[in-house]
Amino acid sequence: MNIGFYRASLIGDNMVALYGIYAMKCLHPDATLIVYTNAYGINLYSQFHFIDVLIDVGEMSEKTLIEDINSRNFALFILTQSNRAACHIFKQTNIKRIITFMTRWSFAKQRFDTVYIPRFSIAYVPYVLRLPQYKRILKLVYHSINPPPPRCNLLHKPPKIDFSPIRLQSSPSHKARIADFLHKHNLQNRPIVAINPFVYTTSHNLTLEGWRELITHLARTYPYIGFVIPTYKDNAKICFDDMENVAIFNNDSDLLNIVALLESTSLFISPSTGLSHIADNLGTPMIWLCSRRDSFVWVGETMNPKLFVILKQRTSKMSEQAQKKYIELAKQKFQVVIKDLNAR
């Protein structure tokens, strides 16, 4: 029996789906699990043996995708993105049962088995029903059990699953690249703190100058710590040539280099973006700068809410005074974390 799972989005979206993908295999161990994803997903998921087949939809046309799906005669399929475009494609397939979120594009469609979960609204959704993204996806997967849990019972006790097999691991070559990088910058014998100032879609973040102020303060206050800033070719430039304990790691498209870096770090500081979900997967302690909404929607299993810095304004509307307040909060949380790490 073939069962399918579709998740083709940005880094963080693909990371939180790992819980659902693994749970799907655990609940249907005798089935062949086929995952449709994009380049990010291929990079992140390829190491996991519980996925039987990985398919890159990045270069597929709509027609090719439908033909591929129909050739596999899926008995069951988890569609995690129930938007208009995806529902339009999947209603043209021969999948016997498509489990997805209830939206106006999936509701009352033939073969669509929809699960209602309230959309995120901090003001109107009770605290106990504010499910983070990874738990929302798990609700879809748990619904695949025959018979499924009660449709509207969001508090239904889920099956017990050990999710430790979804932890990412870098290869020896990735580890060697990070070791060479740290040695090149004379950071190999220091505790390492990684700091990511960059975002793609997140609306709440410090400005680049705000990050420069925070990083400069931390590097000067803690000269025995090495600070590494991962970046990519499309990111804005940030430079700390005058500071010997700060280094810029220019990554290529291989996210497992970031995994290797975070495996070597004592702490990660980041806004709400994809790399923060890689850190969460690895259990790396993290100071997380996020909106109040993201503190519910995108919180991860290993994140510590006591280390969150809640940004109340979008970057575009953040005053200089407000930004300085958030920088001070980040400094205070850093001091607490470093004190705790030093005490171990």
Q: What is the pLDDT of residue 282?
A: 98
CATH architecture of 172-343: 3-Layer(aba) Sandwich (3.40)
Q: What is the pLDDT of residue 122?
A: 53
Q: What is the pLDDT of residue 307?
A: 97
CATH architecture of 2-155: 3-Layer(aba) Sandwich (3.40)
Structure tokens at 256: 């497992």
**Angle at the Cα of 14 from the Cα atoms of 11 and 17, rounded to 5 degrees:** 150
Structural element, H or E, at residue 33: strand 32-37
Listed in order, the ranges of the chain carrying CATH 3.40.50.2000 are 2-155, 172-343
Q: pTM of the entire structure?
A: 0.92
Token pair 């932890």 is found at 167
> Burial code of 267-283, b = ≥16 C-beta within 10 A, e = fewer?
bbbbbbbbbbbbbbbbe
Contact 323, 214 (CB under 8 A): no
Tell how far CA 170 is from the center of its chain: 17
Q: How far apart are the first and last CA of the chain?
A: 50
Q: What is the pLDDT of residue 201?
A: 86
Task: Kindly list the averaged pLDDT for each block of 10 residues, start to end, along the chain of length 344.
Answer: 96 97 97 98 97 96 97 97 92 96 87 83 55 93 76 62 97 97 96 95 94 96 96 81 91 95 97 97 97 94 97 96 98 91 63
- HSE-CB at 76 with a 13 A cutoff on CA atoms is 16
Structure tokens at 73: 């005669």
